[in-house]
Structure 1
């Protein structure tokens, strides 16, 4: 998440896996693929359909009874050694090819053309326009959590198969102090107070207002959710009434290939509005929209439970961070 809480096709079992060492549930996205069936090389399998139709006395041909390659239980992004690989190697005969910086090698050794350049500025502006529409549209939101600091509601997302969350609360600080705590910049305060942000880096500064950023998150929700990474284009903007906005959406960048120890999540148009309150200079209305596909293989019930609690924690920790900043 740039400003999201940046802070999972079928698994081998439908329930979240249980770790044998400490009894903790693990994210299915990091489980190893189902092992293939083993048999002696050159020995016909009694389960092979081809071995059942050989005529009596006919010579046995290994190629006629060779078992097909076993399928992995997980059809998206295979795992290796219990960890998801950055990108699945492509197998062509006996040669293994991995992605390169200039394209994906094909079986003939030729590099596929790289992805076309993305219009980062245009995507950032589109994300800002989208959450501006969310702000103006009060229909369809259903409450799911309320605390003394924030009210959280949701509705189905039009961007992906999950939900978009709306959070609204008042922070006892001026907009400039709130913005100082949440602004998405390298070396900012976000990694110091937000428990859902482990690292934040600016990959490319497109302009003074637009940048491509990579955010990593630690494991969460009793380690059911494994570490995530997000690559987003972020727009920072200030309006005439003093409102400050940070908007973001997922992008691809050649310097940010998927990392082997993280699950790649996707932020759809999301962001925060720091809105001044007329007559109350020491208070700020913070309106946020979160719209994240965590990726991987998490049960939907886990996802639906995680976001409202995490958003409430975001507002609570932000309130503490602002007080510490003012002290």
Structure 2
């Protein structure tokens, strides 16, 4: 290899999946992409697709992948099989999607120990995601400690919301003391989709008003005016808003008090219930829409 390294590995470590792409930034081309899904289940699946000229056929492996560290190691093995290993001198950086950056991180940020500490500090308001993001960051840093690692935050796109949208109707001093406000999530998706929709309409982002729906195991909606987010359905945490795969979405806040008083559940138990045992899995017994549709068809 000659010249400056141009490859960037992009990792999206979600609550139960890892999506990835290897890009050549000299021309914006994709060299490989893939998905590890159902992490932590017996039916884990890795689908890997080499995309560069002369690449091999798509490959798939199934079987238990216990955690995100194991998932990233499996991804590294698949890339290495195509001659695109993480040890390549052509790899310039690794980018990470991080869910919660609070108000501090409003743009892509080079990761250091201080950034990691702040991401970890925000775990209580993104308990399903920031820990997975941190695992991805720490595993990738261990694999290539010499490379710059960059975090792109899901909350960043929503920092343009006016106070009228970001504020909750609770005591202002209490809210400010504990940083309680609507942060919003899925920002990278909402930003991309709003811009792509404007382009499809033959407009600049500044000329288009768009309602964006991000629908997956996590789901959210946003209102984008002139390329800037002005409102969104998720709030302090990714729990608020639409019904999701394992998350309840909006419920009467008094449900939590009722569960404590009547069912004797503590805060951690209620947290697990609303984040991991609600939504589609609570209503249907499954959080995979493909399985729900299959059962409906039967």
Shorter-chain TM-score tier: under 0.3
Q: Over alpha carbons, which structure has the higher Rg?
A: 1
TM-score, normalised with respect to structure 1: 0.20
Bigger share in helix: 2
Of the two structures, which has the highest relative contact order with CA contacts closer than 8 Å and spacing of 6 or more?
A: 1
Bigger share in strand: 1
TM-score, normalised with respect to structure 2: 0.22
